[in-house]
Each structure stands twice: as structure tokens, then as C-alpha cells.
A and B are shown apart, each in its own frame.
Chain A
Amino acid sequence: MSVMSSSGKFSPQMEAQLLAAAARILRTDFPNAERTGCPTRDALQSVARKVAGDSESRNVIDHVTCCSPCFAEYERLLHREKVWRSTKLLALCATLLITAGLATWFYAFRADRSQRVPEPTVVKEGPTPRQAAPTEFEVAVLDLRNRSPVRGDRQPDPADDVVSLPARRLELSVYLPVGSEEGEYEMQILRDADSPLLIQKGTASLRDQNVVVQIRTDLTGISAGRYLLRLRRGTFGWRYYPVAFTP
């Protein structure tokens, strides 16, 4: 078997043999009981850690070639350095792994709580108009934001723009006219001036820059047709709006 490869180097196996045999000799054959001329432990350590300067490092290595105690100590320091590096690497990997695990768990937990997309429902049949159960309240909106109140004692003209509402049990959101203030409001449905068919009170609050009164009311007793809705804040004056109820 050839020792050298064609490029003039040792084959790896031969090099390993040579190094192992040389290490055996260097470990034992150059005793120095009095440690004459030996570098300090710090110097050896800095060479093992590869932090020594070039000149110092070569000086120490020159000495190590002919001093078995220093060679043995140098080997020990190298081994310790290797173990320390491996431990550091292991700790780094473990930290990365734990961080990645925590990040994944945190992301999954958050997504589970707040960002889960609802699963789409599969509609097998066409939607049927939903009838409100007698005890349920339908959600309805009465938007008065751009409507003018009826002035004076005149009866509302049939040509006025009339708001219509179903005569049912309603969860009603009344959007008050622009400029209205928050507070307690009273609302009445009437045909004649002084005989209200329904009186309802509620608190107006600001919602998305609109003043809204949220009330729950039962309009099932009112027959279909045109009516007047009047409302006021506290004891201020009434404002009238035409409203039509549908069955």
C-alpha cells in the first residue's frame, strides 16, 4: 500500500497511525521532573484556546515537542477545551430549540384563541327565510341620522320619507340625528297627539361616532300603518318623525 497519495500527502489512515505513535512517544519519552524551562499553565491554556499570539504560541509548541509533562498537560487542556466547546454548542442548540418550541407554542396558542378562522358551513339546501320565534327579538335599525323632524303641529305629509319597521318584537338600534347628545331618551309611538300607543325609554351612547339608543321593544300589538315617532332627551322638547309599521 502506498503511504503517499499522488498529491504528495499522507493517506488519512497512515497519517492517523503516525500521529498516534508520535503522541505515545511525546507523552512519555521526554521527562522533565523539575519542569525546567516550562511555560506557565496560563500560557499553555491560551495556546490550547488558540488565543495566544503567534510568537508565544510557537514558542510554547516548540517546548511541548520535547517536554512530556507539558505535552500531557497540553493534551489535557485541549481535551477540556473540546468538552467545553461541545457543551457550549449543545447549550446553544438547546436554547435555540427551546426558543423555537416556545415560539411555535405561543403562535399556535394565540392563533387558537384569537385568529382561528371559522370553518365554512356547507349549505346543502337553499336558505329558508328565518321566522323569528315568538319569544325571540329581531334585530332592526331605525336610522334617523339624515332625517328632518316634523315641525309644528302639521300632520306628516304622505309624501314625506317614511321609515318602516316590522311590527314585531325588536332589538332596536335607533341612530339619533346628527348633533344629538348622549343621555336618557324617551321614545313614544302615537297616532294622536296625546295618546301614545307605546312608551319606551333608553340610554343613548356613542358608538362609532354615532349616538345610538339601544332598546328592546314589543311592537306586536300595533297594527300596520303610518304612525308618528316622537323622542326627546330628558325633559327637552319632542321631535317627531313619521314611521310606518309593516306586518
Chain B
Amino acid sequence: MEDQRTTRPPLWISETDEHGSRVRPEVMESAHRIWNRVLQHLRYAGQDVAPAAEILESACHCVSRAIRRNLKRNSIRNLDSYLFWAFIRKHTRRMIREGRIQYVDSVESVANANIGAQHDWVSILENEIHLKQMLCYLDERTRDMLILRISGDSWAEIGERFGISAHNAEVHFANGAKKARSRLLRIGLAKLGREQQ
């Protein structure tokens, strides 16, 4: 019997999305490249890999549409990582929506702890589960800033890299984190609303 940890389920992506638009070939190639990493990530997190192919296909369609609309023409530098994060985001959202994710309470706790005034929500994020959820909602630029900050770069250096001032870089990072939290909150609140109904 083949070990489940090494089994690699097949990935099949339809060439047209639900609107009948053709999926861009470079996105499909990228999906095949990251497929193994997606599976490894899910297995490491103890998640079911069964819906992974479907979610990745959906992420491919979204990214392809975004490229077609030229909305992301200048911002997608590394298509593999862009698609990977799109997958993680969709996967997290789906798990929360379907109630299959075990740490769904984390979203509620973030929501409950932060409605109204600004409280210590970063200390809640110290819990890895909360932070993972937030990381996937960070925009590309903020995520890059996060890596550079972890690397020890000063705000002045980061600002210089992005062509903005040190102050603006710092504010942009804080706003990016705040925005990610808001997106996470929306999902959590929507779920809370559904449950109350």
C-alpha cells in the first residue's frame, strides 16, 4: 500500500473557467509547479488534501482573470508565490465557511476581541493559528515588508527599496496588517451572523 504522505493526487485544471474564459497557460503551468508544495503545506498543517485540487483550480481561474484584466500586470512579480498565496487564502476561507477547520474559534476570538476599540490584537496573533490566517490576507507588498523587517532592515532601507519614505513604509505596513485583520474579521463576523440566524 502506498504511503499517504507521499501519494501525489493528480491535478487537473479545466482550460476554461466558470464564465467560459480561457485560463492563461502560464497560470496553469505555475499551478503544476506549486502543486507538490501545496500538498506538503496541507499535510504539514494536518489538513485534508482532498479538496486541494479543486481549490487550486479555483485560484488559477481568479489569478488568470486578474491577469487578463491587467489589474495585476505590474504587481505580480513571482507568479508561483502569488498563486500559492491565492490558494492558501481560498483554502482558509473555505475551511472557515464550511466549519471544517478546527481553529475556526480563532477568527471569532479575533472578532470578539476587536469589535469597537483597538485592543491588544497582536498578542492574540501570537497564537500561530491566528497569525497564519492573517498572513494569507496580507497583500504582496506588506508580506515583502514583513520579510525585510524580519531580516533586520530598517524602515528607511525598506522605504528606499519601495521608493517611499521611512515613515510611509512603516504606516503602509501597519495599514496592511490592519487591512488583513479587517478581511479576516469580515469572514469571522459573517460566520457568526450565519450561526446566529
Chain A contact residues, CB within 8 Å of chain B = 1-4, 7-10, 14-15, 17-19, 21-26, 28-34, 36-37, 48, 54-55, 57-59, 61-67, 71, 74-75, 78, 82
B128 touches A37 (CB 8 A): no
Task: Name the one of B147, B161, B177 contacting A18, with C-beta atoms under 8 angstroms.
Answer: B177
Taking CB atoms, residues of chain B closer than 8 Å to A36 are: 33-34, 36-37
How far in angstroms is the closest Cβ of chain A from B90? 14
Task: Report whether over half of chain A's contact residues are helix, strand or loop; otherwise say mixed.
Answer: helix
- Interface size, B (range): 35 or more
Q: Are B120 and A25 in contact (CB under 8 A)?
A: no
Q: List 14 contacting pairs A-B, 8 Å CB cutoff, sorted by A.
A: A1-B120, A2-B119, A4-B178, A8-B175, A9-B171, A15-B149, A19-B150, A22-B150, A24-B128, A28-B44, A30-B44, A64-B147, A65-B147, A71-B147
User: Which chain B positions have C-beta within 8 A of A67?
Assistant: 37, 81
Q: Which residue of B lies closest to A11 (CB)?
A: B122
Select one of B85, B126, B150 contacting A17, CB under 8 A: B126
Contact B131 A26 (CB under 8 A): no
Min distance, Cβ A50 to any Cβ of chain B, angstroms:
8
Q: Report whether B40 and A62 are in contact in the complex, using a CB–CB cutoff of 8 Å.
A: no
In the complex, the chain B residue whose C-beta lies closest to that of A64 is: B147
B5 CB to closest chain A CB, in angstroms?
11
Q: Which of B55-63, B102-110, B138-146 contacts A (4 or more CB under 8 A)?
A: B138-146
| A25-B171 contact, Cβ under 8 Å, with A14-B122, A61-B147, A62-B140 | no
**A58-B77 CB under 8 A given contacts A9-B174, A31-B41, A65-B147:** yes
Which single residue of chain A is at the shortest CB-CB distance from B144? A61
Flag if B146 contacts A22 (CB, 8 Å): yes
Judge if B80 is at the interface, Cβ distance under 8 Å: yes
Contact A10 B40 (CB under 8 A): no
Residue contact A74 to B78, C-beta cutoff 8 Å: no
B118 within 8 A of A: yes
Is there a chain A Cβ closer than 8 Å to B12's Cβ? no
B80 touches A19 (CB 8 A): no
Chain B residues with CB under 8 A of A8: 171, 174-175
What are the residues of chain A within 8 A of B34 when measuring CB–CB? 36-37
Q: Are B135 and A78 in contact (CB under 8 A)?
A: no
Q: A26-B150, A37-B80, A62-B140 are in contact. Are A3 and B40 (CB under 8 A)?
A: no
- Among candidates B78, B88, B125, residue contacting A62 with C-beta atoms closer than 8 Å: B78
Whole-angstrom distance between the Cβ of A20 and the nearest chain B Cβ: 8
**Contact across chains for B40 and A61 when beta carbons are under 8 A apart:** no
Asked if B197 CB lies within 8 Å of chain A CBs, one says no
For residue B92, give the distance in angstroms from its CB to the closest CB of chain A: 12
Cα A28 to Cα B131 with chains together (Å) = 13
B144→A17 contact, CB < 8 A = no
Question: What 9 additional pairs, Cβ within 8 angstroms, besides A37-B33, A62-B140, A74-B151?
Answer: A7-B167, A8-B171, A17-B125, A21-B126, A22-B131, A22-B135, A25-B132, A66-B37, A71-B147
Write out, one digit per residue, whether chain B residues 20-50 have a CB within 8 A of any chain A CB (1) or not (0): 0000000000000110110011001100000
A48 → B minimal CB distance (Å)? 8
B77, B122, B135, B150: the one within 8 Å of A10 (CB) = B122
Asked if B196 CB lies within 8 Å of chain A CBs, one says no
Q: How far is the CA of A57 from the CA of B147 in the complex (A)?
A: 12
CA distance A34 to B125 in the complex (A): 30
Closest B residue by C-beta to A50: B157
B152 an interface residue at 8 Å Cβ cutoff?
A: yes
Instruction: Answer yes or no: B170 CB below 8 A from chain A CBs.
Output: yes
User: A58-B77, A63-B81 known; A82 and B152 CB under 8 Å?
Assistant: yes
Note all chain B residues with C-beta closer than 8 A to A23: 150
